[in-house]
Structure formats: structure tokens, C-alpha cells
């Protein structure tokens, strides 16, 4: 029998897994920051050039039409076939090395660790290839859906081999991915459109979230508060990323997160086609229509695609409103974690709990998520790191790495999920009804606020901003 | 039976991705939208704003 890898010292150092996740996330973010250098421009007065030494190391697959092999070939260097394969190998190596401490902490044997990791990585790569098909991409069916599907296909047909079961660590991968996501939640993005953007995103969104959750609990009497919260958040904030962040914050079951993501992506693909056509058909002011779409269509990419149908300005407004809404994810995840800690502890007694108990129950990884957001929003700029350098850190390294972590997490979720468990939610009408009612409510409120802000109060100001 | 189901699932996925979707992409309305996204450099599959080129 292979020797067990578990080292007691690691568990002693990190009694709670979340602390290890935060440390790993901090190390990745720190290293990615150190690998970026700002060099003076070629001539005096020119903007400094940003050099990212890690650029291109984490694989991002290409869009393809009919030949999936094209996912591995960049059009820029078409003469050199399969040039994404080296970065794919590096990505697997980086992920494999990054997750070793997690494997040690969980006491996973080396053979099980590497076998499981390779299976997850292979299926994750396949999910990215499926998501890169141009029609799939066009309708915003994100990789997480295909990662889940591949996992489900295996677990519900041939079954999951015992050797890889210890590596089904989806929850840990999600937490680590969320700490990296924190670096993308930049508070300076809030002022991109001034007051109209903030009002449309930051007033309507929390109102819709809280009222939909309340409706689900009090009127629909949803069986699972965590499913109610995940659906309310993904519908009102920003789709998949919000579902993942709030799902982890309120410790939702993997089937609940998967279900919420499934209905969100389904309705996103419908809304991104229907909503811009409705704006055109109704003769609505395009700026108002764009802000409305930015506030209501769940997924970020879908918002940009829907806005593009209305024109360049509309695309800018729609995606900027969505970006401002995206930033809300940090505050929402923290608020949900805090609320859940107090309202839905492990012991659902109605007794008041002390600060010590609150701290014990609080999902600590949320602190890492928030700390990363604050560091990249305020600390790094104060230390002289330019916004171009921060953009490069996230765009070229942390964002693709975070995507891989989420992808592997959803492969693991699929491999752990039985169709029957997921089917339970499909049969029950309440979650779908909650989504539909919440989305309708969101559309009404967002339209009213978009009209008031972009059509009445700040109509001229918005036109001035766009003209610049 | 389990392997039959698995291989059947793989066959369905391959058929959809390698035959159905490439044909859907040829419809004029779908093609137009794809070209619009290509021209504007829009990543319609973005999960978060950092994956949208415009916000970089």
C-alpha cells in the first residue's frame, strides 16, 4: 500500500481548510504581481509599457467553427500548429503543483492525487473545447455547464473509479477560484458611468435580491433557503459568477449551484436574443434599453453581445452597467456569508449566538476574496502599481487560472452528482417559478430605473460621456 | 449496458458539436451575429467583466 501523504503539521498549521486556500490564493496573486513590470515608454512623456513575464503561460483556448483542433491553434501564428499545447501543459503543471498542499491537507495519496488530477484536467480541457465552439460561445453557454455535463455523463453511466474519488474536491477549487476572483472585483470601476450607472446597478440589484429571496421564503415557501439565495443572486447580480460566489458563501449544495447555473444560462441565451429585438421593436431610447439589458441579462458576455445589436454606444452602456453590477459581487458574497452565519448556522436553534460562534461559523475564504479585492482596488494602486499593470495581472494570469479552477470544480461536481438528485429540482416547479418571478420583477425595476437615470435625469450627461 | 449508455452519450455530444452546431453557424442570421461579435471583438462567453475586452 502506498504511504499516506497526510502530514499532521499541515492540519495543525491550518486547522480550517479556508486558511490554506487563502494562503494559496495570496501566493498566486503575489507571484502574478511580481511577474509584471512597468517599463518607461520609448519616448519621454509616453505611457509606461507593461511587461508581464507570465503572459501566455495559462492556456486560453481559441474559438472554433467545425474543427475542434482549431481550439489549440491561434490564428496569429497559423504556421505553427497546436501552439497552445505547451501552454496547456504548463497550465496543468501549475494547477497540479498549486493543488499539492490541498492534497496533503486532505491526506490524498500521491497516486490518487495525480490520477484524479489528470482526469479532472483532461475533462476540464474538453469542457473548454466544447465551450469554445462559436455558436455555443455566441449564446453564452459557459464552460461550467459543459464541465458539469461531462462529469454527469461519466458518473451516471460507467461510474467514477474509486481511485479518483478523493480528488473530487470541487468545493475547495471553488473557494480558491473565488479568492483569485477577488482580484478582479475593482471598486474604482464603480465610477465608470457616474451616478446613473451606480443607481441602476447598486440600487436595483440589492432590492431585487432581497425581495426575491423574501418572496421565495415567505410566499413560495422554498424547501431550501440556500437554493433560494443562489437563484436570487445569480438572477439579480451577474449570473454564473454570482451563483458560485453566493453558493459558496451560504454553503449551498453542489446540485443547487448547478441547477441555478443551468436555468440562468438557459434564460440568458433567450434574453440576449429577445431583449435587444424588443428594444428595437418598441422604439425605446437605445441608451435606456442598453442600461436595462445591462441590469437584467444575467451573464456579462451575453450583455455585451446583446448591446452590440443596438450599436456601439449601447454596447458600451450595457456592458459598463453590467461591470458596475459585477463589482457588487464582493459586497453581496460578504453580506450573504454574514447573514447565513447568523441565520442558518449548523445548529438551527433560535438562540442568540455569540461573536465566537459567529466567527467559528463564518466561511473564512470570503475574507480572502474580500482582501484580494481591497488589495487590488486600493493597496496596489497606492504602492504605485498602474491600472494597466493590474489589468495585465488579471487578464493574462489570474483570470484564466481562476477559470481553470472553476472548470475543474464543476467537472468534480458533475462526477459527484447523480441525475436523480438533480432531477429532484427539475421536477419541482418552485425554483423555476422563483427565477421567472424574480427576473420579471428585476426587469420592471431595472426598466424604471434605467428610464429615470438614462432617459430623464442624466440623459445629456451620458451622451457627453459617450462622446468622449 | 453502462458502457453502452456512456458511448451513446459520447456519440450524441460528438454529433451535436461536430455536425449540428457547425451547420447552425451557417444560417445567415446566426452568421451575421457571429460576424458582428467578431468585428467588435466581443467575447460573448465571458463570465466576468475582466473577460470583456472593452473593459481592459
List, for residues A381-416, the tens digit of each pLDDT value. Answer: 999 888 899 999 999 999 999 999 999 999 999 999
Closest CA to A404 of A63, A98, A64, A69: A98
| Residue of A66, A189, A298 for testing the chain B interface, max B β-carbons within 10 Å | A66
Which class for A288: exposed (0-12), middle (13-18), buried (19 or more C-beta within 10 A)? buried
Which residue is it, cell 459527484? A416
Q: Which domain holds residue A377?
A: 15-40+49-467
Q: What is the C-alpha to C-alpha distance for residues A44 and A32, in angstroms, rounded to an integer?
A: 28
Q: What is the C-alpha to C-alpha distance for residues A175 and A131, in angstroms, rounded to an integer?
A: 23
pLDDT value of position A1: 40
Find, in chain A, the residue whose alpha carbon is nearest to that of B12: A153
CA A120 to chain CA centroid, Å, is 19
pLDDT value of position A200: 87
3-state secondary structure of A37: strand
B52/A238 CB distance under 8 A: no
Instruction: Tell me which H or E stretch contains A333.
Output: helix A312-343
Residue A445 contacts B, CB cutoff 8 Å = no
Residue A49 dihedral angles phi and psi, to the nearest 5°: -90, 140
Q: What is the C-alpha to C-alpha distance for residues A285 and A24, in angstroms, rounded to an integer?
A: 48
Which of B3, B6, B37 shows the shortest C-beta gap to A305? Answer: B37
> Virtual CA dihedral for A185, A187, A193, A194, nearest 10 degrees?
160
CA A296 to chain CA centroid, Å, is 17
Provide the sign of the torsion angle of the four alpha carbons A405, A359, A252, A238, taken in this order. negative
Provide the sign of the torsion angle of the four alpha carbons A279, B30, A406, A35, taken in this order. negative
Report the 10 Å Cβ neighbour count for A315.
Answer: 25
Closest CA to A28 of A400, A337, A408, A413: A400
Residue A133 dihedral angles phi and psi, to the nearest 5°: -60, 135
Report the 10 Å Cβ neighbour count for B32.
Answer: 10
Find, in chain B, the residue whose alpha carbon is nearest to that of A128: B45
Residue pLDDT, tens place only, B7-16: 999 999 999 9
Q: What is the C-alpha to C-alpha distance for residues A140 and A163, in angstroms, rounded to an integer?
A: 34
Domain membership of residue A3 (yes or no) is no
Concatenating the DSSP letter of every residue in A173-198 gives HHHHHHHHHHTT--GGGGGGS-HHHH
pLDDT value of position A307: 92
Domain membership of residue A2 (yes or no) is no
Q: Is the pLDDT of residue B43 over 60?
A: yes
Q: What is the C-alpha to C-alpha distance for residues B10 and A130, in angstroms, rounded to an integer?
A: 12
Concatenating the DSSP letter of every residue in A206-222 gives HHHHHHHHHIIIIIS--
Cβ-based neighbours of A155, under 8 Å, separated by 6 or more: A414, A415, A416, A417, A418
Which of B17, B40, B46 shows the shortest C-beta gap to A308? Answer: B40
Domain membership of residue A1 (yes or no) is no
C-beta separation of A121 from A88 below 8 A: no
Report chain B residues whose CB lies below 8 A from the CB of A305: 33, 37, 42, 44
**Integer-rounded Cα radius of gyration of chain A:** 22
Residue pLDDT, tens place only, A77-133: 555 667 788 999 999 999 999 999 999 999 899 999 999 999 999 999 999 999 999
Distance (Å) from the alpha carbon of A142 to chain B's nearest alpha carbon:
6
Which of A132, A301, A312 shows the shortest C-beta gap to B51? Answer: A301
Distance (Å) from the alpha carbon of B24 to chain A's nearest alpha carbon:
7
Domain membership of residue A5 (yes or no) is no
Q: What is the C-alpha to C-alpha distance for residues A219 and A226, in angstroms, rounded to an integer?
A: 16
Domain membership of residue A7 (yes or no) is no
Share of chain A above pLDDT 90, in %: 65
Q: What is the C-alpha to C-alpha distance for residues B44 and A60, in angstroms, rounded to an integer?
A: 15
Interface of B with A in 1-56 (CB under 8 A): 2-3, 5-6, 9-10, 13, 17-18, 21-22, 24-25, 30, 33-34, 36-37, 40, 42-52, 54-56
pLDDT value of position B40: 86
Looking at the DSSP bridge assignments, the partners of residue A37 are A51
Which residue is it, cell 453511466? A157
Which of B13, B22, B51 shows the shortest C-beta gap to A399? Answer: B51
Report chain A residues whose CB lies below 8 A from the CB of B24: 135
Which of A133, A153, A184 shows the shortest C-beta gap to B17? Answer: A133
Q: What is the C-alpha to C-alpha distance for residues A257 and A250, in angstroms, rounded to an integer?
A: 11
| Residue of A61, A135, A186, A306 for testing the chain B interface, max B β-carbons within 10 Å | A135
Q: What is the C-alpha to C-alpha distance for residues A247 and A174, in angstroms, rounded to an integer?
A: 10
Q: Which residues of A331-367 are buried (b: 16+ CB within 10 A; e: fewer)?
A: bbbbbbbeebbeeeeeeeeeeeeeeebeeebbbbbbb
Q: How many domains does chain A have?
A: 1
Find, in chain B, the residue whose alpha carbon is nearest to that of A66: B22
Rounded to 5°, angle at Cα B10 from B8 and B16: 105
A300-310 helix and A312-343 helix, angle to the nearest 10 degrees: 150
Residue pLDDT, tens place only, A262-275: 999 999 999 999 99
pLDDT value of position A264: 92
Instruction: Tell me which H or E stretch contains A435.
Output: helix A430-450
pLDDT value of position A349: 52
C-beta separation of A150 from B50 below 8 A: no
Q: Is the pLDDT of residue B56 over 70?
A: no
Positions in chain A short of pLDDT 70: 1-8, 45, 76-81, 345-353
B55/A320 CB distance under 8 A: yes
Amino acid at each position: 500500500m502506498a504511504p499516506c501523504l497526510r502530514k499532521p503539521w499541515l492540519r495543525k498549521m491550518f486547522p480550517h481548510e479556508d486558511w490554506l486556500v487563502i494562503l494559496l490564493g495570496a501566493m498566486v496573486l503575489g507571484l502574478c504581481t511580481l511577474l509584471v513590470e512597468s517599463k518607461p515608454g520609448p519616448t519621454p512623456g509616453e505611457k509606461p509599457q507593461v511587461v508581464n513575464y507570465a503572459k501566455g503561460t495559462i492556456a486560453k483556448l481559441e474559438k472554433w467553427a467545425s474543427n475542434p483542433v482549431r481550439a489549440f491553434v491561434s490564428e496569429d501564428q497559423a504556421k505553427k500548429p497546436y501552439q497552445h499545447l505547451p501552454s496547456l501543459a504548463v497550465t496543468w503543471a501549475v494547477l497540479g503543483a498549486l493543488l499539492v498542499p490541498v492534497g496533503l491537507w486532505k491526506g490524498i495519496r500521491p497516486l490518487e492525487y495525480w490520477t484524479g488530477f489528470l482526469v479532472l484536467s483532461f475533462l476540464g480541457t474538453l469542457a473548454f473545447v466544447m465551450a469554445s465552439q462559436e455558436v455555443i460561445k455566441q449564446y453564452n453557454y459557459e464552460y461550467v455547464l459543459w464541465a458539469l455535463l461531462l462529469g454527469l455523463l461519466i458518473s451516471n453511466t460507467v461510474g467514477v473509479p474509486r481511485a479518483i474519488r478523493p480528488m473530487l474536491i470541487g468545493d475547495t477549487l471553488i473557494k480558491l477560484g473565488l479568492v483569485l476572483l477577488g482580484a478582479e472585483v475593482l471598486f474604482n470601476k464603480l465610477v465608470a458611468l457616474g451616478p446613473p450607472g451606480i443607481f441602476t446597478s447598486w440600487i436595483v440589484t440589492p432590492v431585487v435580491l432581497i425581495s426575491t429571496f423574501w418572496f421565495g421564503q415567505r410566499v413560495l415557501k422554498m424547501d431550501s433557503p440556500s437554493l433560494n439565495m443562489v437563484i436570487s443572486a445569480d438572477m439579480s447580480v451577474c449570473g454564473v459568477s454570482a451563483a458560485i460566489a453566493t453558493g459558496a458563501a451560504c454553503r449551498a449544495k453542489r446540485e443547487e449551484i448547478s441547477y441555478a447555473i443551468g436555468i440562468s444560462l438557459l434564460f440568458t441565451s433567450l434574453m440576449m436574443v429577445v431583449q435587444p429585438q424588443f428594444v428595437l421593436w418598441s422604439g425605446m431610447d437605445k441608451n435606456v434599453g442598453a442600461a436595462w439589458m445591462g441590469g437584467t441579462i444575467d451573464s456579462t458576455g451575453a450583455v455585451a453581445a446583446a448591446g452590440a445589436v443596438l450599436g456601439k454606444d449601447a454596447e458600451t452602456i450595457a456592458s459598463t452597467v453590467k461591470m458596475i453590477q459585477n463589482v457588487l459581487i464582493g459586497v453581496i458574497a460578504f453580506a450573504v456569508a454574514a447573514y447565513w452565519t447568523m441565520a442558518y448556522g449548523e445548529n438551527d436553534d433560535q438562540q442568540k449566538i455569540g461573536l465566537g460562534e459567529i466567527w467559528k461559523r463564518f466561511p473564512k475564504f470570503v475574507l480572502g476574496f474580500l482582501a484580494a479585492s481591497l488589495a487590488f482596488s486600493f493597496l496596489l494602486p497606492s504602492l504605485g502599481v498602474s491600472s494597466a499593470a493590474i489589468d495585465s495581472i488579471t487578464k493574462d494570469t489570474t483570470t484564466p487560472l481562476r477559470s481553470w479552477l472553476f472548470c475543474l470544480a464543476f467537472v468534480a461536481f458533475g462526477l459527484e452528482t447523480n441525475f436523480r438528485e438533480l432531477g429532484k429540482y427539475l421536477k419541482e416547479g418552485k425554483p423555476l417559478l422563483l427565477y421567472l418571478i424574480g427576473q420579471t420583477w428585476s426587469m420592471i425595476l431595472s426598466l424604471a430605473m434605467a428610464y429615470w437615470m438614462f432617459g430623464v435625469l442624466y440623459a445629456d450627461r451620458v451622451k457627453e460621456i459617450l462622446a468622449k | 449496458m453502462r458502457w453502452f449508455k456512456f458511448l451513446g452519450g459520447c456519440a450524441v455530444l460528438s454529433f451535436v458539436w461536430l455536425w449540428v452546431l457547425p451547420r447552425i453557424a451557417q444560417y445567415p442570421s446566426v452568421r451575421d451575429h457571429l460576424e458582428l461579435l467578431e468585428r467588435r471583438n466581443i467575447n460573448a462567453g465571458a463570465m466576468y467583466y475582466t473577460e470583456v475586452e472593452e473593459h481592459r
